[in-house]
Amino acid sequence: MGALPSILDPRSIIVLAGIMGLMMALVVFFMRRSYPPSIRGLGEWALAPLVAFASTMLFAGRGFLPDFVTIVVANFVLFQACILYYAGSQKFLLGRSDTRGWTILNGFLGLAMFWFSAMRPDFEIRLVLVTLAVSALFFFHALLYMRHRGEVFGKRLMTGLLLVQSMVAALRFLSALAGMAGESLMDVSWIQSLYISMYSFTVLLLSISVILMATDRVHTEFEYMATRDPLTGALNRRALLDACRAAFASAGRRRAALLMVDLDHFKEINDRFGHLTGDAVLREAVGRMQRAIGDAGLLGRYGGEEFVVLLPDANQADAMNIAQRLKQAVGEPLAANSPNAAGPSDASESPLAAVGSIAVSIGVAAGEAGQRVDDVLARADAALYRAKALGRDRVMAAA
């Protein structure tokens, strides 16, 4: 095959890849500054193309700078950039990262690059080692996304890119084993240009995938925040009522039930222990209620210390059983080591443990599909007030 156009020579492609990487590093860096800290991994994703840019500048200096810099250091920095992309994905998907094994491998790879460049120069062996390591890292990176599948386009794009890059690196590895390694990195050949060009586009498209995934995560978090009570994490009143209306209006549902739950003597807790302890009590009560309800229903904060539980497809007997279970769960003694305890772990000093225990009164009302939610809520509310009038800490069914 004849020589490729000069614009496609490896050095030009490497420089172009570095410039694109630098631009994407700046984009992700400024995006990180404006996105909430709950979006993990952006720091590593912003640093990765910057490190990749440094490596491409070192590679581009091949023939002008010392071999130690353009071979050993350049390959070490390039592989570290790939590791940083992987670390960013781990933090984004798992909330933590652990790339120690890959970093150790990079150290051994650096030693091998030194040996086969300074002590026993062999471009073919260097290419075999680097492409094998890169192919393996991109494959394991892709597996991470395949284990966390989603309908987000950014995730699918990221997975596809990683798999393609892994296959291209594997192809270059096989070509080197077949005696098609060439004489140096700067050889103008179709396989060399394909390998380096694919890396250039991968740097660009990986950063685009990152931006798409992070933007989708922010959108999801904003949607979550718009439907949640900021103190307890339960559904807010608007989202709760929307869910209730949808449940009772569903053509495929025959019935549903509502529980109206009120924390007994909550004002006294606030007056005696303060509002911070009162907030901790609310969070603890919501956590216990959600565990008691499980997948059977939805919990929302109706107002103040009053909550509503929506139980789709539940009849009166089902709802009463769940209400009793909920009352029992909330009434367990408050522990000092609860994550909601707003104070020292010592039970004698913890404000939450000082409260001792809490109780709830519950009104239960079941309704048929097509009924007005307000009517069912009114019946549950009336049952709640009967429970409070009879001494609180009890469950009452609507008449």
Supply angle C-alpha 298, 326, 225, rounded to 5.
Answer: 35
268 is catalytic: no
> 315 and 187 in one domain?
no
> 210 and 101 in one domain?
yes
> 319 and 219 in one domain?
no
> 120 and 11 in one domain?
yes
Of 203, 229, 239, which Cα lies nearest the Cα of 46?
A: 203
- 3 state SS of 128: helix
Domain contains 297: yes
Strand 255-263, strand 306-312: pairing: antiparallel
> 107 and 59 in one domain?
yes
> 320 and 190 in one domain?
no
> 252 and 221 in one domain?
no
* pLDDT for 7: 45
CB 340 within 8 A of CB 284: yes
- 3 state SS of 69: helix
> 110 and 254 in one domain?
no
Domain contains 35: yes
φ, ψ of residue 95 to 5 degrees: the values are 85, 0
Q: What whole-number distance in Å separates Cα of residue 1 and Cα of residue 18? A: 28
Mean pLDDT (the chain) is: 86
- How many distinct structural domains can be found in the chain? 2
> 187 and 266 in one domain?
no
Domain contains 61: yes
CB 308 within 8 A of CB 258: yes
- Domain limit, last residue, from 205, 227, 249: 227
What domain range is 279 assigned to? 237-397
Domain contains 152: yes
Question: Any idea what the CATH number is for the domain that residue 50 is in?
Answer: 1.20.1070.10
> 252 and 191 in one domain?
no
Prediction pTM value: 0.71
> 80 and 159 in one domain?
yes
Domain contains 206: yes
Contacts of 51-57 with CB under 8 Å at 24 or more apart are 51/77, 51/80, 51/81, 51/84, 52/17, 52/18, 52/21, 52/78, 52/81, 52/203, 53/18, 53/19, 53/21, 53/22, 53/25, 55/18, 55/81, 56/14, 56/15, 56/17, 56/18, 56/21, 57/15, 57/18
* pLDDT for 190: 62
**How many C-beta neighbours within 10 Å does residue 277 have?**
20
Q: What confidence tens digit (pLDDT) does each residue in 132-142 have?
A: 999 999 999 99
Catalytic residue among 305, 332, 349, 368: 305
Q: What confidence tens digit (pLDDT) does each residue in 271-311 have?
A: 888 888 899 899 999 999 999 999 999 999 999 999 999 99
CB 44 within 8 A of CB 92: no
> 268 and 121 in one domain?
no
Q: What confidence tens digit (pLDDT) does each residue in 108-166 have?
A: 999 999 999 999 999 899 999 999 999 999 999 999 999 988 778 899 999 999 999 99
